[in-house]
Chains A and B, each alone.
Chain A
Amino acid sequence: EAGVTQFPSHSVIEKGQTVTLRCDPISGHDNLYWYRRVMGKEIKFLLHFVKESKQDESGMPNNRFLAERTGGTYSTLKVQPAELEDSGVYFCASSQASGSRYNEQFFGPGTRLTVL
């Protein structure tokens, strides 16, 4: 079974440009999470999808960030326009539907975003 995949693995853009990150969760996983680690800081939660709906977007830093999950499959995270402080590693994770006693979150390899 394929794990969580993310694309691209690394993106270098200039300040003011737009970047779109993609996450493909494990097939059949309803829950999809985005996290971010800025250099030297902790990994922080950004938002949580249940299927195509945003369950919790309390961690989204500002309105330059837009996350979508059309059809409840893969998700995209767009940063527009990108700022220097957006540089970091963006992780995606997925887990099975609610109802289980414990749902493991499986992480992808991350996308390293560098804004110059």
Chain B
Amino acid sequence: AQSVAQPEDQVNVAEGNPLTVKCTYSVSGNPYLFWYVQYPNRGLQFLLKYITGDNLVKGSYGFEAEFNKSQTSFHLKKPSALVSDSALYFCAVRTRNRDDKIIFGKGTRLHILP
């Protein structure tokens, strides 16, 4: 079965420190990989995606993610966290079959401490 694992329910990071939110996946083939963010009382916002090419993907708000095929991971990173980064982050995958559904992880709540 296809699945996405986010092993941490919550991650606490001091403002200014680097942050990492972990994600591993189990999907056949070479999937598309995504990160989405949900701020309090807001909808789901696209952050970044990996389609092909360079394993390091840069996205919105200074976030980046590294695709590691051998470890089937797609960890989200940011060099210096901001309090405003506090939100719920979802890792997601999609097969390369046309228009296929997105499979999400359960989410990781990120708390940036001032």
Name A's B-contacting residues (CB within 8 A): 31, 33, 35, 37, 40-45, 48, 50, 55-56, 59, 91, 93, 95, 98, 102-110
Contact = CB atoms under 8 A, between A and B. Distances in A.
B69 interface: no
A42 B107 contact: yes
Contacts of B98: 98, 103
Contacts, number: 55
A91 B44 contact: yes
- What 3 pairs between A and B have smallest CB-CB spacing? A109-B43, A43-B104, A42-B106
Interface residues of B, number: 21
B44 A41 contact: no
A48 B104 contact: no
Main secondary structure of the interface of A (DSSP, over half): strand
Contact of A41 (B4, B36, B106): B106
A45 B101 contact: yes
Given A42-B4, A42-B106, A48 B43 contact: no
15 contacts: A33-B102, A42-B107, A45-B102, A48-B99, A50-B99, A55-B99, A91-B43, A93-B102, A95-B99, A102-B32, A105-B94, A105-B102, A107-B44, A107-B45, A110-B43
Contacts of A55: 99
Nearest to B3: A42
A110 B90 CA distance: 15
B28 to A, nearest CB: 17
Contacts of A41: 106
Contacts of B99: 31, 48, 50, 55, 95, 98, 103
Contacts of A95: 99
